[in-house]
Structure 1
Amino acid sequence: MGSKFHAFMFPWFAFGHMTAFMHLANKLAEKGHKITFLLPKKALKQLEPLNLFPNRIFFHTITIPSVDGLPPGAETTADIPITLGSFLASAMDRTRDQVEKAVIIGKPDLIFFDFSPWIPEIAREYGAKSVHYATVSAACVAISFVPGRSPDELALPPPGYPSSKVLLRGQETNSLSFLSYPFGDGTTFYERIMTGLANCDVISIRTCQEMEGKFCDFVESKFKRKALLTGPMLPEPDKGLPLEDQWAHWLSQFEPRSVVYCALGSQIVLEKEQFQELCLGMELTGLPFLVAVKPPKGSSTIQEALPEGFEERVKGRGVVWGGWVQQPLILAHPSTGCFVSHCGFGSMWESLVNDCQIVFVPHLGEQILNTRLMSDELEISVEVKREETGWFSKESLSGAIRSVMDKDSELGNLVRRNHAKWKESLVRTGLLSGYADRYVEALETLV
């Protein structure tokens, strides 16, 4: 048994990142290690219920400074449109003094981070090791973050990139243009992440060798160091709260595997027309459905934005909900048969370890790469075809859903078989716990 360590965690102020770090914190705490989790005050309410070891995981709240361009009171990506992310990155950088003060007092052995490239400097100064924890796929790291690329090369696969179907097609190379966008004061998104990867003591990726081995090997060869893999690092379903009565009761009305559940993550706010097309596409499937998305731009509630007559037509079989839901528990419910998602990496893993069919509607570069990994490389999901406008039609959405839900569909049967095979290997063979155990052992020897 290795020595017990004290780890600090300082993830990007987005719930997909903070939640992924929280699952890792629980795993480290389960092995007897102490964690100090740094986060904005507003995020505490949503993260606290996920803390399974309150005697070992301690929250340290950070005050988010005001930044010109950042709306007053904004503390996480859930408070702002994606276009204002650069201002939030500036605010994160301006918390450096607070983080440094906490490190001086807490004396951590390890500091986990992702979007704050100055953490390795603080870690070195105070005798800690820095761990860059990538909560995106290894394929995404491999294609997006390779040292020494010029801005005009960022939309292309890097030299030596593994033979793979995980590539952007045609006009979608624009989806990687976000790498050259300003992200914080005087830095681009690419420079921010690259600096952290190049200067940290340990690169750590939330994935497994079985699925992404060639991408992990490529990352190791480019950064000349070992990448420690955590495995999917998902919470155990039997821990925590049960599914809320409202949803348990609603879902239980329907046949097993008949309900379509759709969620697009905490960052995506649709245009009203896109939102309405999404609702109409779900209606067109003829299946029961639950859509959990934020109200679209310009609307304060879901109800005011729904298509005319929609509520009456889908009464009893369709719900559009603007609030937070317990996604892992909804996916695990016997009535849920299909998951329509943006393919954020957390949602991707949650879909893999459940039995429902998978349909992806990716928005951002990382999500498109995750979708390619799942739909083209592993053939366990279907991607909704887009129109020339870059959005999808109600017909393409309902067509994709029906193609996987139809019992006689060749495509549906192919992805169902492949999904079952991957789920089997991920869930039933101790693979997940094996990764977590080896990962924690590697960290123990590191300190």
Structure 2
Amino acid sequence: MERKPHVVAIPYPAQGHVIPMMKVAQYLAENGLKVTFVNTEFNHQRVTKALSQTGNIHELVNLVSIPDGLESWEDRNEHGKLAEASVKIMPKELENLIQEMNRTESDDIITCVLVDFYMAGILPVVEKFGIKRAAFLPAPVALLALTLNVQKLVDDGIVDADGTPLTNQPIQLAPLMPKMSPMNFAWACFPDPSMGKPIFQSIIQNNESSKLIQRLICNSSTELEQPALNFIPNCSPIGPLLPSSHRLGKSAGHFWPEDSTCLAWLDQQPPNSVVYVAFGSFTVFDAIQFEELALGLESTNRPFLWVVRQDTNRDNEIEEAYPAGFAERVKNRGKMVGWSPQEQVLSHPAVACFISHCGWNSTVEGIGNGVPLLCWPYFADQFLNRSYIVDHWGVGLGLEKDETGIVRKEEIRVNVERIFDDEGYKSRAVKLQAKIFSSAHEGGSSHLNFHSFINWIKDN
């Protein structure tokens, strides 16, 4: 029997990294590779619990886990602590896993390890085994350009040695790339400022390890990020990773079970009428902001679908967080769910616009379905993605905070109306959708890049 090349895929242990890596894993498996997917033990339990509705993923991809270095009671939302623990613990755990798998699966010894770019600290271990070393970037290439140039930012006096911004002056790494405010650099805009230093230090360490990467692929396309791709020429775009563009099955890798009742609810709504609202896996609001958001959605007088995780409101239990009488007043046009099958929602003809935190997955899924966005970034690369959406692609608007740091209900209502009233946003979103699809379909640049990557893995 012919041996299959065997890929071990390792995402960074956060929801926005696990889902796109799982898409890559599925596509590799459907193209004749054996794939083992390595989550942390904590995330593995969440993913397998939420998987019950997700088709044949177990038949395609072998799911295994290793420790993340944190105690069971520690908060996985503390990115600085998670990054530090991962670098210390996970390389040794991976080394043990590779040794065990090569010993027990002699017919399918590991050919290639594919890591999340921001887990490159694992690669020195992989190099010891003489295995092919590849990395996947689930974020925009412009973020990679920024993080690879952190030492230059220090040398130029834009940030200090801990990554703290020393100026407000926006920078532009290359012509036609997005302008970035130092205050919104990915490590500098966390709600908890103490996270900035450990994340900045982990970026510096990661840059050193990233020199061991032999092939680098990313969830982007030339239509989305040509200037950034010119700036980082060894980064090969294979995106957008959308079911319709890669004929993938149902999305897997979610940390929460999807509530599919919202799809039947969408079926009852008129075409291009629904405001879809979702803020990813990390965004939290205080009681004032949560209430303003609820009242803002109510004031649009339009149907809305709102994804409200149990931990969305940091001050109150969700059941007590809504304004008095809100649920009763919006019961005929508002639906709230804990987690949604987002790609199916965004492809539904009833959805007219998307109020989003602008995570890269949500950004790509929004434009991949021709849906205009209202941008409400929270942290990390989300401010950069807003710049793409608003300033570069013209497919959305930014929601602005007032002097107290709150996005008010009137700001929400007014900008929802602007998106509905100006057909240019929808028109540009649909045009961009067509362009990125052409690159991902057979013969397009992303499609050719993906198959070049697969052939590199298969090539002895």
TM over 0.5: yes
Which residue pairs with 2:315 in the alignment?
Answer: 298
- Aligned: 1:89 with 2:83: yes
- 1:56 Cα deviation (Å)? 4.1
> Does the residue aligned with 2:336 lie in a helix, a strand or coil?
strand
Query: 2:316 is aligned with what amino acid?
Result: S
How far apart, CA to CA, are the structure 2 residues paired with 1:245 and 1:365?
29
Which residue pairs with 2:32 in the alignment?
Answer: 32
How far apart, CA to CA, are the structure 1 residues paired with 2:207 and 2:68?
24
Deviation per CA, 1:159-216, whole angstroms, max 9, x where unpaired?
A: 87222362235864697466982337xx724314423433322222211112211101
| TM-score, normalised by the number of residues in structure 2 | 0.82
Structure 2 unaligned residues grouped into runs of 5+? 102-108, 160-164, 252-257
> Does the residue aligned with 2:119 lie in a helix, a strand or coil?
coil
**In structure 2, do the counterparts of structure 1 residues 160 and 354 end up closer, same or farther at CA, with 3 Å as the change threshold?**
closer
Aligned partner (choices 163, 166, 176) of residue 178 of structure 2:
166
How far apart, CA to CA, are the structure 1 residues paired with 2:393 and 2:225?
10
Aligned partner (choices 300, 308, 332) of residue 285 of structure 1:
300
- 1:369 Cα deviation (Å)? 0.4
Verify the 8 A CA contact 2:306 2:335 in the aligned structure 1.
yes
Equivalent pairs, count: 420
How far apart, CA to CA, are the structure 2 residues paired with 1:137 and 1:439?
17
Which residue pairs with 2:105 in the alignment?
Answer: none
How far apart, CA to CA, are the structure 2 residues paired with 1:279 and 1:304?
13
> Does the residue aligned with 1:401 lie in a helix, a strand or coil?
helix
Which residue pairs with 1:223 in the alignment?
Answer: none
Query: 1:361 is aligned with what amino acid?
Result: W
- 1:348 Cα deviation (Å)? 0.7
- Aligned: 1:444 with 2:452: no
Aligned partner (choices 347, 352, 365) of residue 337 of structure 1:
352
> Does the residue aligned with 1:58 lie in a helix, a strand or coil?
strand
Query: 1:88 is aligned with what amino acid?
Result: L
- Comparing 87-96 with 128-137, greater Cα deviation is found at 87-96
The residue correspondences of 1:393-432 to structure 2 (distance < 5 A) are 393-406=408-421, 412-427=422-437, 431=441
> Does the residue aligned with 2:37 lie in a helix, a strand or coil?
strand
How far apart, CA to CA, are the structure 2 residues paired with 1:261 and 1:173?
27
Q: Percent identity?
A: 24
Which residue pairs with 2:376 in the alignment?
Answer: 361
Which residue pairs with 1:268 in the alignment?
Answer: 283
Structure 1 unaligned residues grouped into runs of 5+? 221-225, 407-411
Which residue pairs with 1:117 in the alignment?
Answer: 120
RMSD of equivalent CA atoms? 2.9
> Does the residue aligned with 2:197 lie in a helix, a strand or coil?
coil
Which residue pairs with 1:137 in the alignment?
Answer: 140
**In structure 2, do the counterparts of structure 1 residues 231 and 248 end up closer, same or farther at CA, with 3 Å as the change threshold?**
closer
Verify the 8 A CA contact 2:4 2:33 in the aligned structure 1.
yes
Which residue pairs with 1:183 in the alignment?
Answer: 198
- 1:444 Cα deviation (Å)? 2.3
Which residue pairs with 1:105 in the alignment?
Answer: 100
Verify the 8 A CA contact 1:231 1:432 in the aligned structure 2.
no
- 1:367 Cα deviation (Å)? 0.5
How far apart, CA to CA, are the structure 2 residues paired with 1:432 and 1:261?
31
Deviation per CA, 1:18-75, whole angstroms, max 9, x where unpaired?
A: 00100000111111011111012323323676575534411112234444xxxx345x
Query: 2:428 is aligned with what amino acid?
Result: N
Which residue pairs with 1:54 in the alignment?
Answer: 58
Deviation per CA, 1:281-316, whole angstroms, max 9, x where unpaired?
A: 11111111111022301323x220001221222121
Query: 2:130 is aligned with what amino acid?
Result: G
- 1:92 Cα deviation (Å)? 2.1
Which residue pairs with 1:228 in the alignment?
Answer: 236
- Comparing 28-37 with 291-300, greater Cα deviation is found at 291-300
